[in-house]
């Protein structure tokens, strides 16, 4: 319910209830007063009639008795007067035309003379006209109350409106403008009360927000440019470092080979062993550098999206793997076609790592099996799963970090770069990748790609 209506209802109820209660009390007091007044008058008239007709009844002076009765009947509340002798014979009776009103009350009184009963007086009186008088008095009373009510209502409403409702409305307006970030209109608050203070603090907030908003855009642009520059610098640096490290390594390897070959006859077996170890270290370092280069190429190379069948790319990768290890028997199954719009080079590198991992980590499994499936739909989820060594879900957060490995190099060789590269490829396609596994029961890598088939992409040339 709006505040204005609630306040109106509150003020109305607050004023109306005491007015009604005091009106009802006044009405009952008036009613009580009129009743006791009526009964007093009735007793007085009965006395007049009883004592006034004593002698007249005794002397059978009907004429004088009638005069007395008629003078009493000038009071319009008197409806009927009956004077009867002890044997019931009516000595005198006078009645007004409205004698049988339902509110009329009749009392009988004995008329005495010298201690003996000489007759009975029955006086009927009707209080209706007294009640009518209440009605007449009530009307101005109610009108006065209503006037008082309306006046108070108007005065209280005007006061509340000025002091409370209008400032609250302004506050509401001001805070919803703040919420909608319309920060240009200034508010001045002169009211010294709590609402005024609240309004002034909203105004201070508006000013700070405006300053903040004006600076934010520039700040974001500045920071983005700084970040992009830092990123570019970092990538160029790691690329050139990796690239430049290859040349001295090749030299070390070349000289070590030369020493090994040219001085084989003079070198003691221990020195030859050291040389072999030295060349193994050099080769390992060279392979690490190649992987690093491949990883940085994933982010640096421009994107070129075309429609590709993932199943065909997977077949090519599996063929390469079979060629490298013809002795292995691995059951590969793939759903087809798996049409996607991707960069074929990057996607093949990603599949080479995913399927290469599945191939590698099933090398100690009997009946090795690798599958590539799709959930279908407009934005399919592709899954590569195998029944190989698997991994513990406790370490799942490490999987996609460069150089993080969950298996020992003596069991399964590798540098720990492959999945970091796969994640970069998927991210560059606007998608996401995640993994599930269980030690000894295999692993499952699922990913989706950002641009579904048929949608345009704005990433070309990145
Ligand atoms: N299919 C899989 N089954 C079990 N573990 C896996 C599987 N794929 C990856 N892992 C775990 O995740 C780790 C990281 O994988 P990633 O491909 O990045 O590195 P790698 O295969 O060890 O080395 P690289 O790919 O650089 O030759 C692996 O060392 C392995 O412990
Ligand atoms: Mg790998």
Mean pLDDT of 96-125: 86
Asked whether residue 137 carries a pLDDT value surpassing 80, the answer given is: no
Band (100; pLDDT cuts 50, 70, 90): confident
Query: What is the model's pLDDT at position 459?
Result: 45
Classified by CATH at the fold level, domain 303-448 comes out as Heat Shock Protein 90 (3.30.565)
Query: What is the model's pLDDT at position 5?
Result: 85
Pick 447 or 218 by higher pLDDT: 447
pLDDT > 70: what percent of the chain? 97
Q: Are 79 and 124 in contact (CB under 8 A)?
A: yes
Asked whether residue 455 carries a pLDDT value surpassing 80, the answer given is: no
- Indicate the range of 131-145, 215-229, 365-379 predicted with least confidence: 131-145
Asked whether residue 30 carries a pLDDT value surpassing 90, the answer given is: no
Ligand having the closest approach to the CA of 393: 1
Mean pLDDT of 83-102: 85
Determine if ligand 1 sits within 6 Å of the CB of residue 414: yes
Pocket perturbation via mutation, ligand 1, pick of 370, 371, 414, 443 by most ligand atoms within 8 A of CB: 414
Pocket perturbation via mutation, ligand 1, pick of 295, 324, 418 by most ligand atoms within 8 A of CB: 418
**Residue reference for tokens 């009390």:** 25
- Indicate the range of 303-307, 318-322, 433-437 predicted with least confidence: 303-307
Fold match between 3-133 and 303-448? no
Determine if ligand 1 sits within 6 Å of the CB of residue 389: yes
Per-residue pLDDT reduced to its tens digit, 196-213? 888 888 888 888 888 888
Q: CA separation (Å) from 324 to 110, 318, 417?
A: 143, 10, 20
Query: What is the model's pLDDT at position 289?
Result: 86
Query: What is the model's pLDDT at position 458?
Result: 44
- Ion ligand 2, residue ranges at CB < 5 A: 357, 418
Query: What is the model's pLDDT at position 460?
Result: 40
Report how far ligand 1's centroid is from the alpha carbon of 130 (Å). 109
Determine if ligand 1 sits within 6 Å of the CB of residue 406: yes
Asked whether residue 434 carries a pLDDT value surpassing 80, the answer given is: yes
Per-residue pLDDT reduced to its tens digit, 337-373? 999 999 999 999 999 999 999 999 999 999 999 999 9
Determine if ligand 1 sits within 6 Å of the CB of residue 416: yes
CB atoms within 10 A of CB 95: 14
Query: What is the model's pLDDT at position 40?
Result: 93
Mean pLDDT of 18-35: 86
Pick 181 or 72 by higher pLDDT: 72
- Domain ranges for the chain, please list them: 3-133, 303-448
Pocket perturbation via mutation, ligand 1, pick of 387, 399, 409, 420 by most ligand atoms within 8 A of CB: 399
Report the b/e string of 25-62 with b at 16+ CB within 10 A: eeeeebeeebeeebeebbeebbeebbebbbebbeeeee
Per the prediction, the chain carries an average pLDDT of 88
Straight-line distance from the first to the last Cα atom of the chain, in angstroms, rounded to the nearest whole number: 56
Mean pLDDT of 47-72: 90
Query: What is the model's pLDDT at position 451?
Result: 65
Query: What is the model's pLDDT at position 99?
Result: 65
Pick 66 or 19 by higher pLDDT: 66
Mean pLDDT of 163-172: 86
- Taking the CA atoms of 31, 33, 36 and 42 in sequence, report the sign of the dihedral they define: negative
Query: What is the model's pLDDT at position 461?
Result: 36
Mean pLDDT of 126-149: 82
Asked whether residue 76 carries a pLDDT value surpassing 50, the answer given is: yes
CATH no. of 3-133: 3.30.450
Query: What is the model's pLDDT at position 452?
Result: 56
The atom of ligand 1 lying closest to the CA of 442 is: 3
- Indicate the range of 101-110, 263-272, 365-374, 381-390 predicted with least confidence: 101-110
Query: What is the model's pLDDT at position 195?
Result: 85
Pick 376 or 68 by higher pLDDT: 68
Residue nearest to atom 1 of ligand 1 (CA): 358
Asked whether residue 68 carries a pLDDT value surpassing 70, the answer given is: yes
Mean pLDDT of 368-392: 94
């Amino acid at each position: 319910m709006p505040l204005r209506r609630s306040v109106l209802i509150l003020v109305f109820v607050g004023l109306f209830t005491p007015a009604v209660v005091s009106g009802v009390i006044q009405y009952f007091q008036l009613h009580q007063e009129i009743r006791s007044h009526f009964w007093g008058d009735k007793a007085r008239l009965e006395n007049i009639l009883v004592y006034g007709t004593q002698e007249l009844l005794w002397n059978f002076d009907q004429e004088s008795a009638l005069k007395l009765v008629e003078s009493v009947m000038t009071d319009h509340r008197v409806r009927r007067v009956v004077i009867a002798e002890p044997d019931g014979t009516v000595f005198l009776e006078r009645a007004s035309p409205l004698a049988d009103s339902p509110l009329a009350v009749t009392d009988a009184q004995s008329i005495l003379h010298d201690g003996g009963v000489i007759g009975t007086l029955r006086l009927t009186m009707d209080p209706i006209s007294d009640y009518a008088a209440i009605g007449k008095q009530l009307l101005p009373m109610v009108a006065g109350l209503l006037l008082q009510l309306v006046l108070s209502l108007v005065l209280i409403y005007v006061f509340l409106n000025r002091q409370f409702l209008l400032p609250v409305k302004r506050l509401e307006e001001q805070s919803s403008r703040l919420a909608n970030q319309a920060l240009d209109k200034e508010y001045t608050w002169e009211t010294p009360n709590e609402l005024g203070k609240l309004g002034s603090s909203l105004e201070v907030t508006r000013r700070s927000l405006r300053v903040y908003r004006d600076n934010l855009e520039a700040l974001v642009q500045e920071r983005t440019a700084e970040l992009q520059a830092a990123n570019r610098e970092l990538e160029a640096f790691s690329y050139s470092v990796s690239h430049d490290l290859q040349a001295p390594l090749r030299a070390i390897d070349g000289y070590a080979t030369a020493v090994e070959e040219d001085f084989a006859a003079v070198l003691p077996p221990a020195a030859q062993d050291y040389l072999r170890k030295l060349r193994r270290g050099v080769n390992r370092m060279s392979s690490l550098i190649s992987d690093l280069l491949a990883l940085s190429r994933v982010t640096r190379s421009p994107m070129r999206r075309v429609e590709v069948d993932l199943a065909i790319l997977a077949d090519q990768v599996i063929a390469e793997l079979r060629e490298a290890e013809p002795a292995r028997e691995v059951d590969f199954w793939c759903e087809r076609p798996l049409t996607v719009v991707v960069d074929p080079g990057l996607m093949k590198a990603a599949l080479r790592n995913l399927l290469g991992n599945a191939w590698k980590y099933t090398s100690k499994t009997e009946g090795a099996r690798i599958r590539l499936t799709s959930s279908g739909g407009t934005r399919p989820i592709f899954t590569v799963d195998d029944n190989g060594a698997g991994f513990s879900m406790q370490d799942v957060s490490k999987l996609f970090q460069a150089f993080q490995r969950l298996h020992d190099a003596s069991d399964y060789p590798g540098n720990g770069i492959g999945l970091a590269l796969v994640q970069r490829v998927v991210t560059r396609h606007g998608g996401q990748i995640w993994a599930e596994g269980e030690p000894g029961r295999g692993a499952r890598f699922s990913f989706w790609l950002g641009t579904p088939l048929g949608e345009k992409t704005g990433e070309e040339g990145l």
